[in-house]
Structure 1
Amino acid sequence: MSTEPADATGVTPRSECLALGQVIARIGDKWTVMVVGHLSGGPMRFNAIMRAIPGISHRMLTLTLRGLQRDGMVSRTVFPTIPPGVEYELTPLGRSLTGPLSLLAGWAGANRADIEAAQRDYDLDLAAVAPSRDGSRPAPG
């Protein structure tokens, strides 16, 4: 039994944090971002999504689409053809995610060079203080 105080709805801060973490994990996943981005243009068949996203495996696309479906962000429509045709489409909830993801992508694009420069500087600083193979450290400069 939790010793955390609950708010008026009976939710504890810890359970709220865990729930929020699960949502962030779903929408922050790189494959989710790419799938939502491609589906923002309209319904797509599985193989079309697969071709549109370089590097995604069949299994990872399946897992991503199932997760998005489970979370109510993607709908799956099966057409009675032979073989059955299946289309995936963003739901209204999924479409509501495209704005924030677009802003995030814009921020990432605008700041990419600064982030890469900071990473290079960090790596150079780290290399300067890393022990050499004989265990000695370079003299402070």
Structure 2
Amino acid sequence: MIPQPRSNCPINRSLEMLGDRWSLLILRDIVLHDRRSFRELLTGSEEGISAPVLSRRLTDLVEAGFLAKNEVTRGKQGRYSLTEQGLATVPLLIELGRLGAHIDPSTAHNAPRFGADPDDLTRRIAVLRKTHLAD
């Protein structure tokens, strides 16, 4: 993540914040698969993220305001929750899934099953908001 924007372009800024190889996949796993602990994110990553990279990206996502980490006592696993900014990425994740299925139809069976209907997307985000912001 790039702390200072290189331009005033909002697309550029989004890419500076989320355009690395892993950040959107971590958000995908939290949003679509409810993987919220470090261990769940590490072992559930089909793409094979390493522990050091996952640790760094989670720190970046917390510092950038996309996630919050619920602190726990030593020996217990912390849980990550979406913030409002993190929730704002949900429509982007859905559209990236649609685009990926269009680009490579063999991946279509893994595309998110919601979001085609704006009301459905709104309902799903409301459920995520209640689950993540209530923690």
| Structure 1: tracts of 5 or more residues without a match | 1-13, 114-141
1:29 corresponds to which residue? 20
The aligned length equals 98
**Contact 1:42/1:89 (CA < 8 Å) preserved in 2?**
no
Q: 1:62 aligns with which of 44, 50, 55?
A: 55
Aligned partners of 1:111, 1:23: CA distance in 2, in Å? 22
Aligned partners of 2:96, 2:35: CA distance in 1, in Å? 23
Residue 30 of structure 1 aligns to a residue in which SS?
A: coil
Write out per-residue CA displacement over residues 72-112 of structure 1, whole angstroms, 9 at most, x where no aligned residue.
000001122x4133111111110110111211121121122
1:45 corresponds to which residue? 37
Residue 89 of structure 2 aligns to a residue in which SS?
A: helix
Q: Tell me whether 1:105 sits opposite 2:93 in the alignment.
A: no
RMSD: 2.1
Q: CA deviation at 1:22?
A: 4.3
TM-score of the superposition, structure 1-length normalised? 0.61
> For residues 57 and 43 of structure 1, do their structure 2 counterparts lie closer, same or farther at Cα, with a shift above 3 Å needed?
closer
1:93 corresponds to which residue? 85
Paired-residue identity, %: 20
Aligned partners of 1:43, 1:56: CA distance in 2, in Å? 14
Aligned partners of 2:34, 2:85: CA distance in 1, in Å? 14
Amino acid corresponding to residue 79 of structure 1 in structure 2? V
Going by fraction, where is strand more abundant, 1 or 2?
A: 1
Aligned partners of 1:107, 1:68: CA distance in 2, in Å? 24
| Structure 2: tracts of 5 or more residues without a match | 1-5, 106-135
TM-score of the superposition, structure 2-length normalised? 0.63
Amino acid corresponding to residue 57 of structure 2 in structure 1? T
Q: Considering only CA atoms, is the larger Rg found in Structure 1 or Structure 2?
A: 1
Residue 76 of structure 1 aligns to a residue in which SS?
A: strand
